[in-house]
Structure formats: structure tokens, C-alpha cells
Amino acid sequence: MIRKIMAVVFALMLAVSLGWLGAIAWQENVSGADHDEAVQLANALPATVSAELSATGKIHVDDAARVNVYTDDQIDELRDMDIEALKKINSEVMGWIRIPDTEIDYPLLRGEDNEHYLKHNWKNKPNSAGAIFMEHANTADLSDFNTIIYGHNMRSGSMFGSLKEYGSQAYWEAHPHIYVLHDNGVFRYDIFAAHRVRPGTITYAMQIPTQLQAEFICCALENSKIQTNIRPAVGDRILTLSTCTGDSAYRWFVQGVLNQEQSYHKDLP
């Protein structure tokens, strides 16, 4: 009798476990489909640009001048993305974030708080994988000394699940740049540090007074798991990618500094 009861309990536990794993797999598949849809929409060449290319075989003279500012094919590819198509679905889409040859290649959101996009995708629909989103207290134009972007650490490696790989020197060497497409241009950030951080530390500060910026930079470099020989200067613009670690006492950060010369700025004369 006891064996029968134990067998029934085991069967129930197995069914629950399989159901839980199935839910995770389903959620990952849904998240992947959302991502694919965003890529297809964003990669549709805008009609105005397409017409111009067909008629002239080249881009506008002003744009051609800007191309010479940088020498990065990723910039050109991101420039052609049609983010307006995504904004028609969700007006809180503010751009796109990419780390080439990784899973990180997503629409970038900015909501009214830091809670909504933890459980909603870029289409603003409930999804436990959430979305990649900017700290709502940051200035929307990326002009703060430290701009923070959040994403879930998914087991599949999706969203910000691959950030943990930056604990490896070799991984950083293979993936040294973060790109952000924004209304103001396409910005390249050179990764200079990756480290584990307790919530509430200076790393979470954004509009930092000049006299404290050196402390912020030193803190990142001293705790970094990788050695990049890149040292941001006071007054530079930092991009901080934040994700969970599985330990509620810590977060994992990957930080890059804006490379002005290797970025495309729409406001150039």
C-alpha cells in the first residue's frame, strides 16, 4: 500500500515538474517569436530610403559625409533599421541594443517605471521573459554620465542571459562592443568592465557630480573580472547593462564607455 502511495506521489511530482519545464519552454518559444517579429519589422528598409536608393543609387550627400566619421559596418546596419515600425506597435520603444554575435539583439524600451517591462515584452504583452529596458530615471537621450539598461538573465541565454559570459577574458575579446540605435544616432560603447555588484552601490548612480565620477570609474575597474586597458575619463558617457545573478544580494554588470569617434551622430553639421 505504501509503495502504491509513493508511486502516485512520485507520478504527481513528475507531472508537475514536466508541466513547469513545459511552461518554461513555451515561454522561451514565445519570447523567441517576439524577437523574430521585431527583427523582421526593424529590418524592413524604410520606403523613403529605398526610393532614394533606387532613384540615385546612393544615399543623400549629407548622410554620405556622416558615414566617413566612423568605420564600423555595425553602425551602417543599425542605421537602416526601421524603428518607427516598432514604435507604431508600442510607443515606448526607444531604439535597439546589440552586442554582435551574441543573443543580445533586441528592441530597447523605456517605461514609466522599472517594473512593467520585467513582465511585459516589447509589444507590451504579458511575458515572463520581459523586455530590455532603460532605467526610467535616466535621461531619454542617453546623455547621463551613467545610463543603466536592464534585462532578465534567462537560462536559455536569451535577453541578458549571455552577460555572465563576460566573466571570461576571451569572451570580452570576442565581443568588445555594445551598440545602441537611438533617435539621435547609433552609438558604440567599448566594454571596459564586468563585475558583480550589490544593489544600492555607486554603480547604480546616474547623474553623478564631476567630483565623484573618478570614484565611480575606479570602483568599476578595481572590481572588474576582465582587463581591457580601457579607462573612461571624467565626463565620458557610461552604459551599464544590469542583470540578476541568482543571488538576490548581487547583480551582474557589464559596462561600456561611449566611443564618440566610432559612433554615428545625427546632429553633426
* DSSP result, 42-76: HTSPPHHHHHHHHHHSS--HHHHHHHTT---HHHH
pLDDT above 70 for 48: no
The mean of the pLDDT values for the chain is: 82
Q: Residue 69: what pLDDT? A: 65
Helix, strand, coil shares of the chain, percent, nearest 5, are 40, 20, 40
What pLDDT score was predicted for residue 20? Answer: 38
pTM of the model: 0.80
Q: Which of 266, 52, 26, 239 is CA-nearest to residue 151?
A: 239
Choose between 194 and 47: higher pLDDT: 194
Percentage of the chain beyond pLDDT 90 is 63
pLDDT of residue 268: 58
What is each CA distance from 62 to 65, 68, 80, in whole angstroms?
5, 11, 15
Tens digits of per-residue pLDDT, 95-151?
999 999 999 999 999 999 999 999 999 999 999 999 999 999 999 999 999 999 999
Confidence class of residue 30 from pLDDT cuts 50, 70 and 90? low
CA dist 205 → 14, 74, 113, 147, 148 (Å): 45, 29, 16, 9, 9
Q: Is the pLDDT of residue 6 over 70?
A: no
Look at residue 38 and tell me whether its pLDDT is greater than 50.
yes
Query: Is residue 50 very low, low, confident or very high in pLDDT (cuts 50, 70, 90)?
Result: very low
pLDDT-based confidence at 249, cuts 50/70/90? Answer: confident
Q: pLDDT per residue over 60-101, tens digit each?
A: 334 444 444 688 999 999 999 999 999 999 999 999 999 999
pLDDT at 33: 75
CA distance 251 to 42: 31
Give the range with max mean pLDDT: 51-55, 118-122, 245-249.
118-122
Ranking 11-25, 103-117, 243-257 by mean pLDDT, the lowest is 11-25
- pLDDT for 218: 95
Other C-beta atoms within 10 Å of 146: how many? 22
Q: How confident is the model at residue 267 (pLDDT cuts 50, 70, 90)?
A: confident
Give the model's confidence band at 59: pLDDT under 50 very low, under 70 low, under 90 confident, else very high: very low
pLDDT value of residue 9: 35
Report which of residues 23 and 146 the model is more confident about: 146
User: Kind of pairing, strands 251-258 and 185-197?
Assistant: antiparallel
| Distance (Å, whole) CA 137 – CA 246 | 25
> Residue 251 pLDDT more than 50?
yes
